Amino acid sequence: MLTFLSRLAQVLTSEGKDWRKSTVFLLDGASYHKSDETRQHILKLGIKVILSAPYSYDTAPAELLFAYFKRDQINPEHLPTGKK
């Protein structure tokens, strides 16, 4: 996670130094997102982060995309998938 965040910050900085003013990362409550080491690294990089609540699938953008994909894109018969 630390390597990913460092590399992402490096790439974003190469594209424009002001990205920190308008960018917020949404992370779920995974233990490696909340660890002291990760939190310290986030502070060092100057990244704004929102940690979502555990198991908050209804508000996770990736989960909403996956639900749409499963419902419409790979499910032409529209069989129930367990997500609305």
Stretch among 15-19, 42-46, 51-55 having the lowest mean pLDDT:
51-55
Query: Is residue 24 a contact partner of residue 48, using CB atoms and an 8 Å limit?
Result: yes
Which DSSP category does 79 fall into?
-
pLDDT digits (tens, 9 = 90+) for 57-80: 777 777 777 777 776 667 677 777
| pLDDT beyond 70 at 41 | yes
